[in-house]
Amino acid sequence: MKSIFEVERRKDFETGYNRFVNALEETELTGLPDGADTMAEYMDYCIRYWPYRCGTDNINDYLADINIDRSYIDTDEQRYIVLELYLNLLHWAPQQYIHDSQRTAFGSLNMSNEIADESKRLITNLEYILEQCCNMRVREENGKGVEKYCISKRDPIVDATVVCVPELSSVLLGYLDIRNKNDISYKKRALEVIYKYMEPHRNEYKGLICQPVSEEFFACMNSLGIRHNTENQRAIPNAKRISVYDKLFEMALYVLQTKATNQACKEMRLMRTDFESKAK
């Protein structure tokens, strides 16, 4: 018989989401400002001072501005976005309490530790739900002095490419962020950044197995209205833009990995030759 640590767990995302939201509402804290008694209520207070609040004063208004009614969440995409907001506010909550304590006589060390501990616990639970239910992960991104936390799809090909070209890590991982899934403008900008990085290496790709893919990538980028908007560009129907951008992204990943793999092969060949010559 397997122990409790070995039993494979399969979770339904909607169930996990509802359980997490209930946990926010049931996590009681004492001595909070503005009459807040639970972590959910404290987060609603914290968003007033969160640097990325976009001019809103509560969670409902923030979500309403992006066409989400928190009282009626019926798609996984909406759940991802709500959880991403909760994730950021849970990271912000301990900082907000410290700011309030420094500004007024309000606050205590015990309460500060309690908020930090509860926030950390809930963040860990949220990350577990994302991992187990959706094969998602949390990505940290530097912002206006305060980190942003983004939910991204896990992709081993993207992860491998990031290792090859760490200087493109932000744009490669950002392409998989849930909020960018249907964002045509973001995907277009991301491809432009990738093109700008790849273009100086174009001649290097010509001698590799990825040459046909690289040439098609450059041709598409230059003729499908992605880099230029001149009259001779072939317009992509709006309904197909995301599909086209995603295919170009996959092509770029292949080329970037091939170049790095080829370089590693050269280095290993030289190392092996050196070892063999010394052994004679």
Instruction: Look at residues 80, 63, 187 and name the one whose alpha carbon lies nearest to residue 139.
Output: 80
Helix runs in the chain, H state only: 13-26, 39-46, 59-64, 76-103, 109-134, 156-164, 169-174, 184-198, 202-205, 211-223, 238-279
What mean pLDDT, rounded, does the chain reach? 85
Average pLDDT of span 192-213: 92
pLDDT of residue 233: 59
CB-based contact 96:83 (threshold 8 Å):
no
Read off the pLDDT of each residue in 244-265 and give the average, rounded to a whole number: 88
Count CA atoms within 13 Å of residue 120 on its CB side.
7
The model scores a pTM over 0.85: no
Of the given ranges (41-45, 52-56, 269-273), which has the lowest mean pLDDT?
269-273
Q: Higher confidence at residue 29 or residue 85?
A: 85
> Whose structure tokens read 């790095």?
260
* Max Cα–Cα distance, the chain, nearest Å: 81
Mean pLDDT of 245-257: 94
pLDDT at 24: 95
SS3 state of residue 176:
coil
Residue 260 clears pLDDT 90, i.e. is over it: no
Inform me whether the pLDDT recorded for 20 exceeds 80. yes
What's the confidence (pLDDT) of residue 7?
39
Tokens representing 60 are 């409902």
Grouping H, G, I as helix, E, B as strand and the rest as coil, residue 175 is coil
Determine the pLDDT at residue 33: 73
Q: Model confidence over 59-106: pLDDT tens digits? A: 999 999 999 999 899 899 999 999 999 999 999 999 998 888 776 655
CA 165 to each of CA 67, 74, 253, 257, 261: distance values in angstroms, whole numbers, following the listed order? 36, 38, 10, 8, 11
